[in-house]
């Protein structure tokens, strides 16, 4: 994850409290989604950014997770996201993030 974005995630967690923040990912590949999820829960696995060694434990979901999709405006979803939903492996993406969430998130929705 971009190093500046890592800092902004830390800032948001500190300002609002980790239990009040939810991270939603739009990654296109499962491996990348897993790395993002790991970064905002256990810490930066590359040890390059501000989240290195910082376990925020944030609740993190892929936007294709059914628990999240069900909260979206269905009309806007159809317009903005349904095209990518058809071409990406949504179950694999959601599962990759869920795996990290189950291991490292301190709270869930």
Partner 1 sequence: MGKLSGKKLIFLGERDGVPSPAMEACFAGSGAEVVFSATECFV
Residues that bind partner 1 (CB under 8 A): 1-2, 5, 8-9, 11-12, 15-16, 20-29, 32, 36, 40, 58, 63-64, 67-68, 71-73, 76-77, 80-81, 84, 88, 109
Rounded to an integer, what distance in angstroms lies between the CA atom of residue 78 and that of residue 59? Answer: 25
Take residue 19 and report the two structure tokens written for it: 């239990």
| Nearest distance, CB of residue 29 and partner 1, angstroms | 8
Q: To the nearest 10°, the Cα dihedral for 9, 14, 18, 19?
A: -140
Judged by CB, which is closer to partner 1: 90, or 99? Answer: 90
Largest CA distance in the chain: 41
Judged by CB, which is closer to partner 1: 52, or 68? Answer: 68
For residue 79, how many other CB atoms are within 10 A of its CB? 10
What 8-state DSSP symbol labels residue 63?
Answer: T
Rounded to an integer, what distance in angstroms lies between the CA atom of residue 69 and that of residue 97? Answer: 14
| Nearest distance, CB of residue 47 and partner 1, angstroms | 19
| Nearest distance, CB of residue 89 and partner 1, angstroms | 11
Judged by CB, which is closer to partner 1: 69, or 99? Answer: 69
| Nearest distance, CB of residue 68 and partner 1, angstroms | 8
């Amino acid at each position: 994850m971009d190093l500046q974005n890592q800092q902004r995630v830390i800032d948001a967690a500190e300002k609002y409290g980790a239990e009040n923040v939810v991270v939603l990912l739009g990654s296109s590949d499962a491996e990348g989604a897993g790395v993002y999820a790991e970064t905002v829960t256990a810490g930066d696995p590359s040890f390059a950014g501000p989240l290195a060694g910082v376990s925020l434990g944030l609740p993190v979901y892929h936007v294709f997770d059914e628990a999240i999709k069900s909260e979206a405006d269905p009309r806007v979803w159809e317009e903005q996201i349904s095209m990518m939903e058809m071409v990406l492996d949504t179950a694999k993406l959601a599962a990759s993030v869920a795996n990290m969430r189950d291991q490292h998130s301190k709270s869930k929705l």
